[in-house]
C-alpha cells in the first residue's frame, strides 16, 4: 500500500474497516482500492471528503448465471459523512478499460492505495498504454474542463477548487497531445511537465490558497489563468466533440489478456 503520508491514522483504519465490511456484506473480494478525488490529485482542502473507489470480484457461479447481464455490477453507499465509498465489478471495469474510461485509468494510477491484492491492478496498469485511445481520453478531459469553466470560472468570485477542476483536465490534454501517454494523477506532476512557466507563480499561489481554505472557499478570479483557460478551449475547438469512447478495435491480443486477468481473479476467489 502507498499514500500513508496523505491518508493515514484513524481515517485510514476506518476506510479499511468499511472496505472489509463491504466484502462481507456483498460476498465479494476487493482486489484494489484507492483514493480518487482531490486528495489523490494533491490539492485537498482541510475539509475535503475521502473519495474511496475499488474494484471487486465475485465467485465463478455469479458470472456463470444466465442473467448475469441483468445483475448489478456496482456497489454504492449513501454519503453520510466525509467518506464516499463505491466500487465496480471487475468485469465492468475491464470493459470500461477497453473504452478508455478516464476515471478508471486515474484509479489505477492513484498515489493513495488502500488495498492491492494479487497481480490484477499491476497487469491493468501495464495494459493501459496499449488500450488508451488518445482522442477519447482527451474528450473525457475536455468535457470535464468545458463544463466546469462554463459554470464556475467567469464570475468575479470563484470557488477555488473549480479552478483546479478546469486546470487539471486541460493540462492532462496537453500531456496527451505531447505524446507522453497516460497523464499522471497528481496535479503537481502535470504542472512540472506541461504548465507554461509564465503561469506557474499564479497557479502555485492558487494551489496554496486552496490547500488552506475550505471546500467552499472563494477568491477573486485570476485573469491570467482565465485567459489560459479560454485560449486552451479555443485551441481545442470542436476537435473532441462527439468522440465518445470507442472500444479498442483490432486488438484481439489485448482482449485475450484481459480475459486471462479476469479468469485468474475469479479462480482465486472461487
Task: Using pLDDT thresholds of 50, 70 and 90, give the confidence band for residue 1.
Answer: very low
Q: What percent of the chain has pLDDT over 70?
A: 93
Segment 18-31 mean pLDDT: 98
* 121 burial type by CB count under 10 A (0-12 exposed, 13-18 middle, 19+ buried): buried
pLDDT of residue 250: 53
Return mean pLDDT, the chain: 91
**155, pLDDT greater than 80:** yes
More confident call, 161 vs 82: 82
Nearest to 190 by CA among 50, 41, 38, 5: 41
Segment 102-115 mean pLDDT: 96
**240, pLDDT greater than 90:** no
- Count CB neighbours of 114 within 10 A: 24
pLDDT of residue 216: 61
Task: Using pLDDT thresholds of 50, 70 and 90, give the confidence band for residue 44.
Answer: confident
**Which triple of cell numbers denotes residue 206?**
492558487
Domain boundaries, the chain: 9-130+248-269, 134-236
Segment 102-118 mean pLDDT: 96
Per-residue pLDDT reduced to its tens digit, 173-210: 999 999 999 999 999 999 999 999 999 999 999 888 88
pTM value > 0.95: no
**10, pLDDT greater than 50:** yes
To the question of domain 9-130+248-269 being in CATH 3.40.50.300, the answer is no
| Alpha helices for 132-251 (secondary structure H) | 134-148, 160-177, 187-194, 200-212, 223-236
**90, pLDDT greater than 90:** yes
Segment 220-247 mean pLDDT: 82
Nearest to 240 by CA among 172, 163, 183: 172
Amino acid at each position: 500500500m502507498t499514500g500513508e503520508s496523505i491518508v493515514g491514522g484513524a481515517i485510514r483504519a476506518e476506510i479499511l474497516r468499511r472496505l472489509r465490511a463491504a466484502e462481507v456484506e456483498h460476498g465479494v473480494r476487493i482486489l484494489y482500492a484507492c483514493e480518487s478525488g482531490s486528495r489523490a490529485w494533491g490539492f485537498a482542502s482541510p475539509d475535503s471528503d475521502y473519495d474511496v473507489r475499488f474494484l471487486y470480484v465475485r465467485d465463478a457461479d455469479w458470472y456463470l448465471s444466465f442473467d448475469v447481464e441483468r445483475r448489478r455490477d456496482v456497489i454504492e453507499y449513501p454519503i453520510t459523512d466525509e467518506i464516499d465509498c463505491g466500487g465496480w465489478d471487475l468485469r465492468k471495469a475491464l470493459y470500461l478499460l477497453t473504452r478508455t474510461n478516464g476515471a478508471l485509468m486515474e484509479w489505477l494510477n492513484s498515489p493513495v492505495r488502500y488495498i492491492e491484492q494479487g497481480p490484477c491492478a499491476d497487469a491493468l496498469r501495464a495494459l493501459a498504454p496499449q488500450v488508451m485511445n488518445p482522442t477519447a481520453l482527451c474528450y473525457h478531459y475536455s468535457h470535464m474542463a468545458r463544463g466546469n469553466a462554463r459554470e464556475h470560472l467567469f464570475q468575479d468570485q470563484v470557488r477555488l477548487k473549480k479552478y483546479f477542476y478546469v486546470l487539471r483536465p486541460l493540462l492532462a490534454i496537453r500531456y496527451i497531445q505531447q505524446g507522453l501517454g497516460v497523464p499522471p494523477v497528481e496535479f503537481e506532476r502535470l504542472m512540472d511537465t506541461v504548465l507554461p512557466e509564465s503561469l506557474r507563480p499564479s497557479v502555485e499561489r492558487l494551489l496554496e490558497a486552496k490547500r488552506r481554505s475550505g471546500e467552499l472557499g472563494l477568491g477573486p478570479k485570476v485573469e491570467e489563468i482565465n485567459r489560459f483557460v479560454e485560449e486552451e478551449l479555443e485551441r481545442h475547438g470542436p476537435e473532441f466533440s462527439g468522440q465518445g469512447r470507442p472500444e479498442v478495435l483490432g486488438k484481439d491480443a489485448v482482449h485475450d489478456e484481459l480475459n486471462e486477468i479476469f479468469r485468474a481473479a475469479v479462480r482465486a476467489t472461487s
